[in-house]
Structure 1
Amino acid sequence: MARPRQFDEESVLEAAGEIFWSRGYEATSTRDLTDRMGLTHASLYNAFGDKRGLYLKALKHYLDRNLHSRIARMEATYSPGLTIVGYFHEVVERSLADAEHRGCLLVNTALEARSEDPEMLGIVADETAEIEAFFLRSVAAAQASGEIPANQPPEDIARLLLSVQFGLRVLVRVRPERELMNGIVRPVMAMLTLPWPLPDSNPDG
């Protein structure tokens, strides 16, 4: 009979995600992980198979707690147009508040993923498609309601917003500057006739 796990999987995945996020997949050693997670090598391999298996589970945990929950929260809180504004507001604020300037684990994975690992590339591609679909829903609904102009195909705008998000998350790792971030997002929102920053937010964070 298999022995029950003697650890809380959510806490372990949170700890693993933090170190992968800080150091990257390749630079993180198994020793780094076991030290941070409080597990033995045997426990790590029994539970997750190997470092790569742990990384994929930690990435899913990160996406569920951050990206997916953010999209659901924004769509439940704001009008379609302000959903876009609120989403980018949170991206900027969280990026600037991170003292380590780690960017986004999904974007970092995209930068590290190699052609010889099609599964990891596929996961990243699927997640970017999910973000694009979120932007497309928001743009199409905002155009239908008259909240933003309908002079551009919603598919093109969704792809533009996707590229802006990825650009922000890469740049913040080397230039964590509020004016740089605002200067990237502001003209995009102006093109969509949306406010920036989010109404009733503190522009200084």
Structure 2
Amino acid sequence: MARLKEFDEDRALDAAIDCFWSRGYEATSVRDLAREMGIGGASLYNAYGDKRSLFARVLERYANGTTRERIARLEASHPPREAIRAFLAEVIDRSLKDPDCKGCLLVNSAIDVAPHDAELGRVVAAYLEEIRAFFQRMVEAANQAGETPRGTDAHALSLHLLGVLMGMRVLARTGARRRTLEAVVRPALELLGRPH
């Protein structure tokens, strides 16, 4: 019979998120992780394997609690174009409420980790693809409802919106203010057509 984990896994994973998010993947040691998670190094290895495996779990927990939650909530509660607008507005608000300018763990990982680790790069790319697919679904739905300019290419616009989102999150790390972030987003939103 397998032994039950002797620690609070939710709390431990949240601590690991904070550790990777504040230090970055490369600068975070297993010792840092064990200390922040409140577990021994052996327990960390037994529960999660190596640092890469733990990082993949951290990315999943982060995505579930941020992007996936936001996508599901907005897709269920907003008309398509408004879901995109609300998604980007929430990201701006979240960026501005981050006193440490940590940015987005997924975007940071796309820049810092993906170029050096193909497997983790594929993991990060899959999460970013979920965001792009959300944008595409919303644009397609708005196209079908006749709410977007004629000839709007849903796939191309979804890629553009993802690029805008990533650029905005990188700018937020430099302490960019609301006016700057909204100016980055505004031309992309204009491609969706005027709000009703």
- Normalised by the length of structure 2, the TM-score is 0.94
Q: Aligned residue for 1:126? A: 126
- Would the aligned equivalents of 2:22 and 2:102 in 1 still touch at CA under 8 Å? yes
- Provide closer, same or farther for how the CA distance between residues 116 and 107 of structure 1 changes in structure 2, counting only shifts above 3 A: closer
Q: How does 1:101-180 map to 2 (within 5 A)?
A: 101-115=101-115, 117-180=117-180
**Separation in structure 2 between the aligned mates of residue 120 and residue 74 of structure 1, nearest angstrom:** 28
**Separation in structure 2 between the aligned mates of residue 188 and residue 3 of structure 1, nearest angstrom:** 52
Structure 1 residue matching 2:82: 3-state secondary structure: helix
Q: Aligned residue for 1:100? A: 100
Paired residue type of 1:88 = L
Q: Which consecutive residues of structure 2, in runs of 5 or more, have no partner in the other structure? A: none
Report the alpha carbon displacement of residue 3 of structure 1 after superposing the two structures with TM: 2.4
Q: Deviations over 1:80-103 (max 9, x none)?
A: 010000000111000110111111
Report the alpha carbon displacement of residue 11 of structure 1 after superposing the two structures with TM: 1.4
Q: Aligned pair count?
A: 196
Paired residue type of 1:118 = A
- Provide closer, same or farther for how the CA distance between residues 10 and 194 of structure 1 changes in structure 2, counting only shifts above 3 A: farther
**Separation in structure 1 between the aligned mates of residue 188 and residue 5 of structure 2, nearest angstrom:** 49
The percent of aligned pairs where both chains have the same amino acid is 45
Paired residue type of 2:179 = E
Report the alpha carbon displacement of residue 187 of structure 1 after superposing the two structures with TM: 2.0
**Separation in structure 1 between the aligned mates of residue 10 and residue 75 of structure 2, nearest angstrom:** 26
Structure 2 residue matching 1:151: 3-state secondary structure: coil
Question: What's the C-alpha RMSD, in Å, of the aligned pairs?
Answer: 1.6
> Which one is further off, 145-154 or 87-96?
145-154
> Which one is further off, 126-135 or 113-122?
113-122
**Separation in structure 2 between the aligned mates of residue 134 and residue 183 of structure 1, nearest angstrom:** 22
Higher helix share: 2
Report the alpha carbon displacement of residue 165 of structure 1 after superposing the two structures with TM: 0.5
- Provide closer, same or farther for how the CA distance between residues 96 and 191 of structure 1 changes in structure 2, counting only shifts above 3 A: same
Q: Aligned residue for 1:202? A: none
Structure 1 residue matching 2:92: 3-state secondary structure: helix
**Separation in structure 2 between the aligned mates of residue 188 and residue 15 of structure 1, nearest angstrom:** 35
- Would the aligned equivalents of 1:101 and 1:176 in 2 still touch at CA under 8 Å? no
- Would the aligned equivalents of 1:19 and 1:28 in 2 still touch at CA under 8 Å? yes
- Provide closer, same or farther for how the CA distance between residues 194 and 102 of structure 1 changes in structure 2, counting only shifts above 3 A: farther
**Separation in structure 1 between the aligned mates of residue 137 and residue 149 of structure 2, nearest angstrom:** 15
